[in-house]
DNA sequence: TATTGTTATACTCTATAACTATA
DNA sequence: TATAGTTATAGAGTATAACAATA
């Protein structure tokens, strides 16, 4: 807390007379959900700008990065891991296939499944993209020390793990 | 970090043979953006369930809570504070007006602006909703100590402030 | 000329139902 | 019967352009 100002007996007065552009957000800012969303929004804005160069959206990057470290993963696995629904992954995968970033190979022993693999072009792109993401993350969390950043990530994971 | 396992020389082997439902997400989980989004998603799911009782979405709650502590705030101020675009607030405000939760009064000295105020019904609803949100937040962050929760919020704010 | 609130509209994201082919 | 991938489609969320009234 920046200054335990005794709650200032919240003025029963209306806002208009002074009308500062800053509203009292103390209640919302006491919520994990609100703060997590705002922080994500900030980071994701920078993310979107930097990734536009590669023609990648956030979910595209997630998929490519997962495939880089999990070659042969299936759509179903990607959906389960990233918490997205199968129908919404189809066009995404199909587009990256058309771009020559990934390729689909029939699964060795399950005729229904399709293994997804990065092409050399995909490998190369994801390698550059991952480097940019690391840079961008460092900028976005520039106000945090390395130790604070680790703590932040650890605590966030405690929420959703 | 749970165990600095020397990166295990990431198996160049494909996934299919074993095919565990858990993919290697270490790269993504090292990113603030990814973790903030996942954590928010978790909290917001619980939030949506609990707030459905009151017929409120997250943004509705934010607006009502802001009006509770900033009576007479204008649409423009709500938009600036919550980072939403004016056209997208219109139907939202209008719906809450129809529900009798808020009322619009002409601004005392700016004929363009409209001051927004909670009705008694709105006050009552937001009071109950805020109590439920506090409960829900406690549940969602049950794996954190009170001190960790404070730290988490403080660090998230450092990202977006 | 700039700002508040508004309409209309488009685009993206997310969700549901139903189909096919394999298991 | 259940699962992987797919199609079509609906709904929610977010974005831009343009306008009237007021400053």
State pLDDT tens for residues A120-152: 999 999 999 999 999 999 999 999 999 999 999
Q: Is residue B49 part of a domain?
A: no
Residue A15's pLDDT band (cuts 50, 70, 90): very low
Strands A102-106 and A114-118: antiparallel
CA of A39 to C1' of C20 (A): 43
For B70, list phi and psi in degrees, rounded to 5. -140, 65
Give the residue from B83, B59, B36, B153 showing the smallest Cα distance to A44. B36
Residue A10 maps to a domain: no
- Tens of pLDDT, residue by residue, chain B (161 residues): 333 333 333 333 444 444 457 999 999 999 999 999 999 999 999 999 999 999 999 999 999 999 999 999 999 999 999 999 999 999 999 999 999 999 999 999 999 999 999 999 999 999 999 999 999 999 999 999 999 999 999 999 999 99
- B151: domain CATH number? 1.10.10.10
Eight-class DSSP state of B111: T
With beta carbons less than 8 A apart as the criterion, state whether B153 and A156 touch.
no
A73 touches strand D (CB under 7 A): no
* Domain assignment of residue A9, yes or no: no
Burial status of residue A159 (CB atoms within 10 A of its CB: 0-12, 13-18, 19 or more): buried
Q: Give the gap in angstroms from C-alpha A91 to the nearest C-alpha of chain B.
A: 22
Query: For residue A73, what is the DSSP state?
Result: B
Q: Which domain holds residue A95?
A: 57-161
Chain A CA closest to residue B110: A16
Domain-embedded: residue B116? yes
pLDDT at site B20: 57
Number of separate domains in chain A? 1
Q: Is residue A148 part of a domain?
A: yes
Residue A7: inside a domain: no
CB–CB of A41/B160 below 8 Å?
yes
> Which chain B residues are Cβ-neighbours of A28 within 8 angstroms?
62, 65-66
pLDDT of residue A20: 57
Residue B103 token pair: 């009322």
- Asked whether residue B117 is assigned to any structural domain, the reply reads yes
User: What is the per-residue pLDDT across A47-99, written as a single tens digit (0 to 9) for each?
Assistant: 999 999 999 999 999 999 999 999 999 999 999 999 999 999 999 999 999 99
- Measured in angstroms, what separates residue B139's CA from nucleotide C12's C1'? 32
Asked, for residue B11, whether it belongs to a domain, the answer is no
């Amino acid at each position: 807390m920046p200054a335990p100002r005794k709650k200032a007996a919240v003025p029963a007065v209306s806002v208009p007379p002074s009308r500062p552009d800053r509203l009292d957000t103390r209640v919302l800012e006491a919520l994990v959900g609100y703060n997590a969303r705002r922080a994500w929004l900030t980071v994701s804005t920078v993310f979107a700008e930097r990734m536009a160069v590669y023609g990648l959206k956030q979910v595209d990057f997630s998929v490519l990065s997962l495939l880089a470290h999990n070659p042969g993963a299936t759509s179903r696995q990607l959906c389960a891991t990233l918490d997205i629904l199968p129908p919404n992954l189809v066009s995404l995968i199909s587009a990256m296939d058309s771009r020559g970033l990934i390729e689909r190979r029939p699964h060795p022993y399950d005729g229904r499944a399709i293994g997804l693999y990065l092409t050399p072009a995909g490998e190369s792109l994801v390698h550059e993209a991952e480097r940019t993401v690391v840079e961008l993350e460092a900028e976005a969390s520039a106000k945090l020390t390395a130790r604070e950043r680790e703590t932040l990530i650890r605590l966030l994971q405690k929420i959703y793990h």
